[in-house]
Structure 1
Amino acid sequence: MDQTSRQPAGRRRGRPPKSDGPATRELLLDAALELFARQGFAATTVRQIAAEVGVRDAAIYGHFAGKQAIYDALFAEAGPASFEFLHIDVDALVATGPRKAVPELVARVMTGWSSPRTRRFTSVLLREGSGTGGLSGLAAAIETARDQLQAPFRSWQRAGLVRADLAARQLVWELFAPLQVPRMLHLHAEATEDDLAAARRLVDDHVKFFLNCVLTERSR
């Protein structure tokens, strides 16, 4: 029997086949998150992440450009709301109207923030900010989100559906900034079903209050 025939039938270590790609990518994200939480971003290496999953270092590069790209992927899930993360279709959002679109938009954000991995990443996010950008990078991401999400509010203002005496960027801030309170209070790594329910109640009350404050008579 030659050397090839004696090889075990299990998966070879190294770059995963395409069919294994999504599963391996998720394993890499989970392993990196555990290491970032345990020892910090700077102290974590690509080799350590690979070892946690049981693949060679080179296998990571079939999914990510490097450690920062892994962090960026986690940040996209857990950081400030963005068009990329929410898969926003501005035209569809505008056509739906603020009374229906705002609650749906917030629900999508909270669903993402409630996932186990994102709840685990929240503590890392508070400590690390946006990775190499630190807390200043996090602040920049928040401003980018405000820039992106103001577009539908501007359209609703032009249509007379939302108060026009407030800047669209400020409306975005007033909608999303208070969501950090239920997130920090209840959407942590050890959150129970009661925590998740409490977060939903706070969010629902906030959205109702926000709409009461910003909708015009034409939109009610």
Structure 2
Amino acid sequence: MSETARGPGRPRKSEGAATRDLLLDAALDLFARQGFAATTVRQIAAVVGVRDSAIYGHFAGKQAIHDALLTEAGPASFEHLRVDVDALVEAGPRDGVPELAGRAVDAWSAPRARRFVDVLLRDGGGLAVLASAIEAARDRLQEPFARWQDDGRVRADVPPRQLVWELFAPLQVPRLLHLHAGATDEDLAAARRLVDDHVRFFLRVTLTDGSNR
């Protein structure tokens, strides 16, 4: 939209994106400090310095803000991780699985994702929320495993969806232990080591002789 076409009082797209980020950060701070239930839309708007109604130009409500944060901080889909499925399959599981896990940990190491872990832990039920998000991601993430099975690279006696679970569910342990808002460089390094150890174990028990092709 050109400057002349932009309606009076309507923010530029860049301004809208900036406001959305400010709302997410404000909500994240409030959720972490006082809990989701105790936080109101009015409080979020007050932190950003906008009217309550301005929030609804970006989100349907408080739950939608929480859901947007979970989308950023959850197990992640190929869309969120910007993974090319065909390229991942071509790389093979020996390289593709560490790449997939590494991208997920990169996303979880981002400041906003680490702060959201504190929200999950504060409100309780954080593990249940993460487990639910992993379950929802299994359909989206199973494709490369199914194709690797078809190629004889990954053991075929375990359903692809279960392989996704076995890869990602244990990764939540280093995440909850080390990838929180107050994480130090030592925490980040420790998380990487635990993830690397798990990925090596996962590959050892899932690869077949055909994985070298």
Place the TM-score, normalised by the shorter chain, in its bin: 0.7 to 0.9
CA distances 1:117-167 after superposition (whole Å, capped 9, x unpaired): 11111121234479xxx9766543321112221221111001101011222
Match of 1:38 in 2: 33
The SS at the match of 2:158 is: coil
- Aligned partner of 1:186 among 162, 171, 178: 178
Residue 75 of structure 1 aligns to a residue whose secondary structure is helix
- Pair 1:116 & 2:111 matched: yes
- How far residue 180 of structure 1 moved from its aligned partner, in angstroms, is 1.2
Shift of 1:76: 0.5
Other structure's SS at 2:180 match: coil
**Cα displacement (A) at 1:82:** 2.5
Normalising by structure 2, we get a TM-score of: 0.86
* 1:1-220 aligned within 5 A: 16-128=11-123, 138-220=130-212
Q: Specify the code of the residue in structure 1 equivalent to 2:191.
A: A
Q: CA-atom RMSD, angstroms?
A: 2.2
User: Distance between the aligned counterparts of 1:208 and 1:86, measured in 2?
Assistant: 21
Distance 2:127 2:40 in 1: 21
Query: Which one is further off, 37-46 or 78-87?
Result: 78-87
Where in structure 1 do 4 or more consecutive aligned residues deviate above 3 Å?
A: 14-17, 126-130, 134-140
Number of equivalences: 204
TM-score by length of 1: 0.84
CA gap of 1:89–1:128, structure 2 versus 1, over 3 A, is: farther
Q: Identify unmatched segments of 5+ residues in structure 2.
A: 1-8
Which structure would you say has the larger Rg?
A: 1
Q: Identity over the aligned pairs, expressed in percent?
A: 74
Alignment CA distance shift 1:42-1:80 (3 Å) = same
**CA distance, structure 2, for counterparts of residue 135 and residue 172 of structure 1:** 17
